[in-house]
Amino acid sequence: MVDKSFLYPFLGVMFLLLGGAEVYGVRRFWRGKMFQQDAPSRSERFHAQAAVPDLWFEQQLDHNDPTNAATWQQRYYVNEQYFNASDPNAPVFLMIGGEGEATARWMHEGAWIRYAEKHGALCFQLEHRFYGKSRPTEDLSTSSLAYLTSEQALADLAYFIVAMNDKYQLEPHRHRWIAFGGSYPGSLAAWLREKYPSLVHGAISSSGPLLAKIDFVEYYDTVTRSLERYSADCVRAVRSAFQQVETLLKHMIGQRTLNEKFQLCDPVERSIENPLDIANLFEAIASNFAGVVQYNKDNSPHATVTIDEVCDVMVNQTIGAPVSRLAEVNRILLKQSNTTCLDFVYDKSIEEMRNTSWGSSQASGARQWTYQTCNEFGFYQTSNNASSVFGDRFPVEFFVRQCVDVYGARFGAESLARAVYRTNTNYGALDPATTNVLYVHGNIDPWHRLGLTESNDIHMPTILIDGTAHCANMYEPKDSDPPQLKQARLEIDTFITNLLAM
């Protein structure tokens, strides 16, 4: 499971798989995603588990063209530990991979493994095409990425299920498959049940955005609301800090102050006449708060800095003016990601994103996922109102421009509008034709604004967990989890029990 998320604050600094060494200018959280291997917990106690080998499935390149016989090798994992092959009704659980490399640790950890242990399930995880080691084409050129769509990914899952039924001699109507996914894979889990109900008996869709939307202005509105749960003073300080950044940009001394305070990779005075650079700068600073809010207090490797901590900084007047506190938040997050400076130069990031090699830093997911947003979903996390907390420097046009600059002129505003319309028509947006799907969200998570959080249909119930963030219910349970999260996991298990009793 990769953190839903979906998307991202900007091409400013591309995400790499970070090791212990410091990285120059690489941003940890980008467009609502962290393009690194996700893990089911921050605990070290599961690391001693037996290694889970990479397994490979021969997959069709193009499910839409039967005359195309090309195939490729798709990676998957399996855990047979809890599976009772002698039970004619033993279920099968499928963890759906998403917009990053699959992680073997999910085969021993996470709430889904606790459910598998209880219900005696056979567990699979299938890596998403074009991510991790599942590489259908020789490069990431735009022509190659034409094979990267949610529809192709769903067909991959369907073909995989049919093949595993055959390999393990599973009877489809007795050994029932239940799909799990979080963030974009949460959407896929619901859509898989919608499109292939004969293969998948049910699904748990966690933090999955169902509504494709170009201008996702609600994202930063939710970030603001989540900060306000800490205190109104925190939000006022953030607003004031962004206004002070605007003021400092108006003169040379202020510009040089920003260079030093925010540890900028390039002098901002060189970019004053370039609105794309300035937009990128504001979006990068805003994304510091977005990343903290999205993973706030999850039992996730991402959740190392909390809303409480950044708001403690923002209301601490001993640090100095609000802009100095904003710079301190930026310093903390740069240090957390072992990054030496904050990159914001637009042309530099566009050049990096145009790299089509599997060996590039962008191949960890940034180039692929950005293509999916330009070709199917939008999801652009904008701030386009001067009166809003984060200002008006990164409107939707800023993100659409990136589609054109990275993938070509045909990926412009009109194409994107058609793409989003097609996606919503294809899957039903917030009125999906699903049954046996449980939709789970946390109301701290900005992504819940594009998900299904209310339903009167008993066949697609919802759970909205107060005070939790992105995919919180999926991570390995711990004693310190809030009561409402523990209760949500109990309700999920009850839903699974009822599905299997049908």
Q: pLDDT, tens digit, for every residue of 391-414?
A: 999 999 999 999 999 999 999 999
pLDDT for the residue 5: 37
Residue 51: pLDDT band with limits 50, 70, 90:
confident
User: Could you tell me the pLDDT band of residue 274, with boundaries at 50, 70 and 90?
Assistant: very high
Place 14 in a pLDDT band, splitting at 50, 70 and 90. very low
Instruction: Cite the beta strand spans of 356-451 per DSSP E.
Output: 378-380, 437-442
Binned at pLDDT 50, 70 and 90, residue 39 comes out as low
Report the 3 state secondary structure along 333-353: HHHHCCECCECCCHHHHHHHH
Alpha-carbon distances, residue 36 vs 221, 277, 357, 413 (angstroms): 26, 26, 18, 29
* DSSP-assigned letters across all residues of 190-228: HHHHHH-TTT--EEEEES---S-EEE-THHHHHHHHHHH
Catalytically active residues, by annotation:
183, 445, 470
pLDDT category at 298 given cuts 50, 70, 90 is confident
- Whether the pTM exceeds 0.85: the reply is yes
In the predicted structure, residue 302 carries a pLDDT above the cut 90: no
Q: What is the mean pLDDT of residues 167-189?
A: 96
Residues 99-116 have a mean pLDDT of: 96
Mean pLDDT confidence for 68-84: 97
Q: Which residues contact 458 (CB under 8 A, 6 or more apart)?
A: none
pLDDT of residue 376: 98
Topology given in CATH for the domain delimited by 214-422: Four Helix Bundle (Hemerythrin (Met), subunit A) (1.20.120)
Give me the residue spans of the domains in the chain.
52-210+428-501, 214-422
- Say yes or no to pLDDT of 77 above 60: yes
Q: Using alpha carbons only, what angle is made at residue 191 by residues 203 and 172, rounded to the nearest 5 degrees?
A: 55
Proportion of the chain above pLDDT 90, given as a percent: 86
Q: Do residues 188 and 103 touch, judged by C-beta distance below 8 A?
A: no
For residues 283 and 302, the model is more confident at 283
Cα–Cα dist 467/298, whole Å: 10
* Cα angle, residue 168 at apex, residues 165 and 171 outer, rounded to 5°: 50
Residue that the structure tokens 């917990």 belong to: 41
CB 99 within 8 A of CB 33: yes
pLDDT (tens digit, 9 = 90+) per residue, 416-462? 999 999 999 999 999 999 999 999 999 999 999 999 999 999 999 99
Share of the chain above pLDDT 70, in %: 89
Q: How many angstroms separate the CA atoms of 121 and 89, rounded? A: 10
Whether residue 487 is predicted with pLDDT greater than 70 in this model: the reply is yes
Is 50 exceeded by the pLDDT of residue 189?
A: yes
Between CA 178 and CA 199 the distance in angstroms is 9
More confident call, 157 vs 11: 157
- pLDDT at residue 325 tops 50: yes
Three-state DSSP class for residue 399 = helix
Please, what is the average pLDDT of the chain? Answer: 91
Q: Which fold has domain 52-210+428-501?
A: Rossmann fold (3.40.50)
Which phi and psi angles does 398 have, rounded to 5°? Answer: -60, -40
Per-residue pLDDT, 244: 98
pLDDT at 2: 41
- The secondary structure of residue 122, as a DSSP letter, is E
